[in-house]
Structure 1
């Protein structure tokens, strides 16, 4: 539709200008016929433009085409006989503008038909004048063909922009969804670590003596957290008092709270601070050896600082094993996810201080991820650049074709008209250099800023050099071959920077010619008319392309904003669906063992001091630790996840040795789970020592456990085969032996890690 609009408005506007020139330069004897022809051309163009703008025009503009052909056929009555076949006249210009406009809304076949019909009508109409205007007819044909090429190139640029934008939007959408899923998964794991994993580990380690009421209370809290949806991370704001809501009450220690400031916080920041404070207080209850802690919240207009301190036994932060995730994941990583920072200051005997900071001036990573689809230009050059490149290529093509197909033959055909042919060839050579200077950056898609001014000066100098060697009577004729040429190169160099540079270049080129005509002796009205009409042909086309570039940039930018908004909504919907699906899957996995165990603890149905309950909690705590380890970037995921499960056993005081033999292939996540799960169950009944062996041979991987276990424990291992993993277990005296073996379908077939969150 933008092409239709430009064609309609451009044609009627330019035809109005040429009508004025036609009436002011027409001889008195032919003024009535000229006026009639001009009126017919304007009427036809007005109807054509109106129908085109309203969308009622489909296919060939038959009526307007007939009017244009009649105007061409009647040129012997409407054009001054003083105008030779080499001089452009208003009929030729009206015909050129018409066929140029037709190319922007017709099919290629229809456009070609209009070119042939109008060109033939112009040639036939020139016969009664006694001299067939072959040169102007040929140039009409070339101009219309170049217009079609320009239209096709702009459409190609639009299709390229759409294709590139579509591909990059798909990539951006995938990245946005992936980032949102990973962010939600990290938050889920952090919440799981702070709640269920801590409660189950506490029961599994037997750390509830004298605090039998604590597991039930924490289990109720854990279930509430796991079942709640994650709040919005970017829009809703909450007051600082909500920061500590529920955290202090369920902390297990006495907390003294100091607050200052009441400015609301983004909900995502509040959630991150709340989770970090909760984990810090949990660590006080479990590790500090004291029953008191202090929380201080300081809030101003742009930042918030929260400190959690205690006077307990303290520790060395650098000595915390990587498997311990309370500080690294639940505090530091959680604050980093919203653009904040966390610092831990502690030393043996000096207590611990956890400092949490967030500032509105810092980039909010979660918010950035949420609004990422709005910034389409972040991943791709603006759509308008593709259109502009297409226009620039088309303008350069017109300039080069004009130079070699039209101007060079005119130079050679009029060589006897020049006092100094060398001057003309020098001007032509300089113009060729300018063409080459424009072609290089366009072909390489580079900016023309560096050479814009020097090339413009050179092409204007070549035009003046050639014009000074042309006789006054030949100005505006084919002998004046450089006329209109500098504007095309200026268009290439300044495209997208408005029309002011084009106006300046055209004025600099026109002024010497008009001055020479005005100073000349004799009647040069024919040459002046030729100059005016010829200049109108070139400059109007150049200005039209310049204005189109500006309009296309605005249109493309608007379209890009609308597309980005649609993509944002599409990505938000997809993120919502994907995150909700992931949450359902995660909770379904927890409902198999963890949730029922927490529910029975919360209801008081299980005694946390009972050995069977402790063992069941230890197994689920180890499985959760393995789950956390699955999301680490480790060179050997199987051993890394196995070590995470072993860490739970070692906290109970069991001495575990790990032996590894053979080169282990990359295994899928489900295979690793099937191999590790029997080992977790076996380690849960170990009393003092256990030995874990990982053996890899050609086509097989085996994980075996030998643990000291009393016979009353029995065999608790699920020996059902999963993921091509066979499980066997055996008890003998005070020993439990469990072995899980994975076998490939083909031992020669390489395996790949198919795990993905």
Structure 2
């Protein structure tokens, strides 16, 4: 019985490796015990009672593997102690068997393999390889001294030892190689994510600073600009809340639930929202971020939706939460948001993305709006691919090597059988065809997966080879070793299992078990022979079944390790992101820190009356300037200064400029604003926009003197003017 991974030389086995070893060991013990060990002990004890102490030692060497396999990391002395029990038991049986020859029933290679699994769980790769080679050599010497000259029987006994051990070493190295590649990939991904986090941390902090500015300062300034005697108290509360949120921040710690923070939000009362459901506690920073996104969604309901009903539904998820904010308002088309509507994209979607969540907005005109916030975002099923983080080519090359011992055994046993079979030429031809197809399939699998046609060819060839080998072996067979020729056909099935999905592999193993069992019954009929020759099924379909079980467990464990690593990296990223909240003030402009925040503090402290005209005018001016900053970003200082100057001159400015506009158009827009000069009266409307590399200004109620001055200035700059009775349109290329 073979198939096993091993731990790295410098570290304990990964969790997935331990699970694979444990499943492999238990499955091997059950398979070998039911088909080989118990029948052997029962038969030999009845024929030679003096072998009872040796049989007991053999049984203890097998049962002693169970507690070691169940422990996370057994001690290093367990495997050598179990091997000593096996060697003593085999030696006792060979010395006290009397006239009965037990060598034809001894299976030291299979008994040794569970012990090798224990060694793999306790030793480094170099140590377990050395232990396995020394143990195999001891068994070879022991069996060679018992069976005598090197003949067919002696060669068969050597195969009983060498084939399982060689296959086990190759399979162990294959899983070790795949696991090491997966481990390296996980570390490389973690390193790359760390570098990317460091690069994006400042940009993310800038976005958070902009979101706080939009959600709180601009919201308070908007309320302040439209404040009346009736809304005085509400405006003061908004200014106080905005200043509190924009003040010095501390790094959030601990856990809390989202609904606990949301219930304390004044925006819930303003929107008339009803909160339904509850969630498990989340990291404080994550819960606060989700609550901030809910806050902005409620602001949109209050300011834009015209809703009569609003609800907040909190749904617990495994390790996370989903919050749905729903209203029955006028709705909108998410694909055609006005340029000034930043709440959905920046304050909701981007905020959730930055902490590893997602936001989905569903709306249509006249049908209300639904904002779904989910943390963490939905992950793709990692277990859908084999060893997702291990190079696929490396995995295929490593795994296909495990079929070579069985392929070599099939042709070697057929050649050694010689005249003991009825039709030696037919037997060699069949074994040669099976070997050739198996070698070609193994070589092809090293480069690419086999398709359905290739897998079907392998299975049909294995069935044909099995039928031929049953046909050429005499009835009843003089030695059960003659059926070891079937290992060549079982190796083809082994390749099918390695190349297919687990569901297909399960069907193939069940089908191959049925084919082998029916073939034995059909050829020999006597159930006693079927029981005695059960080693054929053990070394064929049984090993394929164990291989399949180990691969399934390894895939799932690899998926769990990858998911665990991704979650750890995600939480580290969220923690680093949230710690930046104490440094956000460095990303705000002087207008925020020296003008907007002092204004909000004065209103919140009662030093200024929000209903005064001069306070409202100051709020209107700051609101426009800060919105320009949010829309255009910090890299457009000259244009921002010109926009602020235009507003301070008395123009009622509407800007649809954005960072997506070309640099030439933005430069042209700055020139156009400089051309405007003073308005004819305070509040004269002007709209600035950009199309391609051309900037445009549309002015309403333009006076004759303004039109003349603009025409002269644009003639110098290379622009054009279109004068209509109600408006004037100025166009200027970006190269001016």
For the criterion TM > 0.5, the same-fold answer is yes
Q: Contact 2:211–2:347 at 8 Å: present in 1 too?
A: yes
Q: Contact 2:389–2:562 at 8 Å: present in 1 too?
A: no
- The corresponding residue for 1:629 is 631
Give me the whole-angstrom Cα distance separating, in 2, the residues matched to 1:510 and 1:134: 26
Give me the whole-angstrom Cα distance separating, in 1, the residues matched to 2:610 and 2:653: 20
Q: Contact 2:520–2:530 at 8 Å: present in 1 too?
A: no
Secondary structure of the residue aligned to 1:296 is coil
Flag the 1:217–1:493 CA change in 2: closer, same or farther, 3 A.
Answer: closer
Does 2:169 match 1:154? no
Cα displacement (A) at 1:197: 5.5
CA distances 1:573-627 after superposition (whole Å, capped 9, x unpaired): 3343234543675499832332124434666767999999999878855652442
Q: Contact 1:490–1:505 at 8 Å: present in 2 too?
A: no
Does 2:299 match 1:296? no
The match for 2:133 among 100, 108, 115 is 115
Cα displacement (A) at 1:188: 2.5
Q: Contact 2:628–2:640 at 8 Å: present in 1 too?
A: yes
Cα displacement (A) at 1:234: 5.8
- The corresponding residue for 1:36 is 53
- The corresponding residue for 1:577 is 579
Does 2:241 match 1:224? yes
Give me the whole-angstrom Cα distance separating, in 2, the residues matched to 1:150 and 1:306: 62
Structure 2 counterparts to residues 68-83 of structure 1, below 5 A = 68-74=86-92, 76-77=94-95
Cα displacement (A) at 1:643: 6.7
- The corresponding residue for 2:545 is 543
- The corresponding residue for 2:468 is 465
Give me the whole-angstrom Cα distance separating, in 2, the residues matched to 1:59 and 1:589: 73
CA distances 1:5-33 after superposition (whole Å, capped 9, x unpaired): 346535654346533222344396x5124
Cα displacement (A) at 1:539: 4.7
Q: Contact 1:237–1:264 at 8 Å: present in 2 too?
A: no
Give me the whole-angstrom Cα distance separating, in 1, the residues matched to 2:675 and 2:616: 9
Flag the 1:565–1:553 CA change in 2: closer, same or farther, 3 A.
Answer: same
- The corresponding residue for 1:126 is 144
Give me the whole-angstrom Cα distance separating, in 1, the residues matched to 2:97 and 2:267: 87
- The corresponding residue for 2:26 is 9
Does 2:417 match 1:399? no
Secondary structure of the residue aligned to 2:48 is helix
Cα displacement (A) at 1:385: 8.3
Does 2:376 match 1:371? yes
- The corresponding residue for 2:713 is none
Secondary structure of the residue aligned to 1:131 is coil
- The corresponding residue for 2:219 is 195
The match for 1:357 among 358, 368, 375 is 368
- The corresponding residue for 1:419 is 423
- The corresponding residue for 2:40 is 22
- The corresponding residue for 1:747 is none
Point out the more displaced range, 472-481 or 607-616.
607-616
Cα displacement (A) at 1:371: 0.9
Q: Contact 1:384–1:556 at 8 Å: present in 2 too?
A: yes
The match for 1:508 among 511, 515, 519 is 515
Give me the whole-angstrom Cα distance separating, in 2, the residues matched to 1:113 and 1:142: 17
Secondary structure of the residue aligned to 2:485 is coil
Does 2:352 match 1:339? no
Q: Contact 1:76–1:128 at 8 Å: present in 2 too?
A: yes
- The corresponding residue for 2:524 is 517
Flag the 1:99–1:61 CA change in 2: closer, same or farther, 3 A.
Answer: closer
Give me the whole-angstrom Cα distance separating, in 2, the residues matched to 1:655 and 1:510: 85
Flag the 1:11–1:119 CA change in 2: closer, same or farther, 3 A.
Answer: farther
RMSD of the alignment, in Å? Answer: 5.7
Q: Which has the larger radius of gyration?
A: 1
Q: Contact 2:54–2:91 at 8 Å: present in 1 too?
A: no
Gaps of 5+ in 2: 1-17, 279-289, 314-323, 351-358, 681-736
Secondary structure of the residue aligned to 2:368 is strand
Give me the whole-angstrom Cα distance separating, in 2, the residues matched to 1:6 and 1:318: 53
Give me the whole-angstrom Cα distance separating, in 2, the residues matched to 1:655 and 1:27: 100
Structure 2 counterparts to residues 202-241 of structure 1, below 5 A = 218=235, 221-228=238-245, 235=259
- The structure whose RCO (Cα within 8 Å, separation 6+) is larger is 2
Q: Contact 2:431–2:465 at 8 Å: present in 1 too?
A: yes
TM-score normalized with structure 1 length: 0.62
Give me the whole-angstrom Cα distance separating, in 1, the residues matched to 2:548 and 2:654: 80
CA distances 1:398-419 after superposition (whole Å, capped 9, x unpaired): 223321x322233344455452
Secondary structure of the residue aligned to 2:360 is coil
Give me the whole-angstrom Cα distance separating, in 1, the residues matched to 2:579 and 2:396: 44
CA distances 1:287-311 after superposition (whole Å, capped 9, x unpaired): xxxxxxx7633669998435479xx
Give me the whole-angstrom Cα distance separating, in 2, the residues matched to 1:379 and 1:627: 46
Cα displacement (A) at 1:505: 0.8
Structure 1 or 2: larger helix share? 2
Gaps of 5+ in 1: 248-258, 282-293, 310-316, 345-354, 666-671, 690-757
- The corresponding residue for 1:712 is none
TM-score normalized with structure 2 length: 0.63
Secondary structure of the residue aligned to 2:181 is helix
- The corresponding residue for 2:157 is 136
- The corresponding residue for 2:342 is 329
Flag the 1:242–1:440 CA change in 2: closer, same or farther, 3 A.
Answer: farther
- The corresponding residue for 1:256 is none
Flag the 1:22–1:623 CA change in 2: closer, same or farther, 3 A.
Answer: same
Secondary structure of the residue aligned to 2:309 is strand
Secondary structure of the residue aligned to 1:648 is helix
Q: Contact 1:93–1:537 at 8 Å: present in 2 too?
A: no
